[in-house]
Amino acid sequence: MGEVLPFKRKTAAEKHKGKSLCRSGFHKWKICSAKQFDVKQGKLVTRYRCERCGAEKVQAH
């Protein structure tokens, strides 16, 4: 006969994984480094990094 595997209920965190704020577009942006220079644009830029998921965005001044 086969081996019986025990099943357990998913926790609330496992159940709703993938439905987080970041996936809905509500990131928690924090400045990664205060000032950087972008060579291609020739401008100072600010890099933002999401605290929850690690996504990055760049904003030129």
Tokens encoding 30: 């924090």
* Cα-Cα end-to-end distance for the chain: 68
Exposure pattern of 3-42 as b/e (b: 16+ CB <10 Å)? eeeeeeeeeeeeeeeeeeeeeeeebeeeeeeeeeeeeeee
More confident of the two residues 56 and 18:
56
Predicted model pTM: 0.59
Taking residues 30-45, report their average pLDDT: 79
CB 60 within 8 A of CB 45: yes
